[in-house]
Amino acid sequence: MKRRLIAAAVLGMASLGLAATEDIRATVHNLSTYSNPAQGGTNEVCVFCHTPHGSNSDFVGAPLWNKPIDTTVTFQVYGGGQTTGGTAVDQPGDVSRACLSCHDGVSGVNVVINAPGSGNYDPNGIYLDYRGSTQPWRMPFPFAVGKNGAGGNYDLRDDHPIGVVYRGDDTNPPASLKPTNTPITGWNIAGDKDGNPGPTIGDLLRNGKVECVSCHNPHLNAPRFLRSGDGNNNSNLCRTCHDK
């Protein structure tokens, strides 16, 4: 009996450290599921976001990006530019703008600059078949986090702040945020971003800021693509950073 209890405890602790795996084919980000090659679409999975050749060289926020992005767009940001802790909220960083190139509710989900095959390049964008249409297919509300109601107004005021420096001025940080060197377990994290033994909260930041990819991995086979892998059960994702 004692051995069985010990074995069960070991298995339980091991499960806490398990992270979801990256396999975009099994997620709703596999846009080829809704694309018909016979109608101007494709069965290629990655091409909706990435291309090995002819990528958007004006945008460095994501690898080999296959979408035109208007980087001059100004978003309405959370709190009018300041969190309740007094930290400034800036415009979304490049890595978040990559997500918003579909999720702003204004851009076409099915637009690429380099479609599969030879001679299918256009820096202004080519529309692949998606859900039976080769016209711009825009993300509907509420999945379009930058669009509230009818018409795109690039409104992020009611969403978790992105482009915000974590803890702000670290000499006088908000008491509710844990230090960046706080170890975390069970998350899907690749690489050491902050140089601290980890994984740590700092590994979730980009240029010291909270961005979309701090909590989400678009390739992850997990609820809502959350890096925590558990769909925020018991608010585990929120409480990783917030000391509440």
pLDDT at 17 over 60: no
Query: Rg of the chain over CA atoms, in angstroms?
Result: 20
Spatial separation of the C-alpha atoms in residues 224 and 34, rounded to whole Å: 19
**Total Cβ atoms within 10 A of residue 10:** 10
Q: CA torsion 134→135→138→140, rounded to 10°?
A: -80
Place 1 in a pLDDT band, splitting at 50, 70 and 90: very low
Structure confidence by residue, pLDDT tens digits, 154-197: 999 989 999 999 998 888 888 899 999 999 999 999 889 888 98
Structure tokens at 23: 């396999």
Return the higher-pLDDT residue of 204 and 191. Answer: 204
Tell me the CA distances in angstroms from 176 to 85, 86, 166, 223, one per residue in order.
Answer: 8, 12, 11, 26
pTM: 0.87
Location of structure tokens 């859900």: 131
Range 183-193 burial, b when 16+ CB lie within 10 A, else e = ebebbbbeeeb
- With pLDDT > 90 as the criterion, what percentage of the chain qualifies? 66
**Total Cβ atoms within 10 A of residue 11:** 9
Spatial separation of the C-alpha atoms in residues 76 and 91, rounded to whole Å: 8
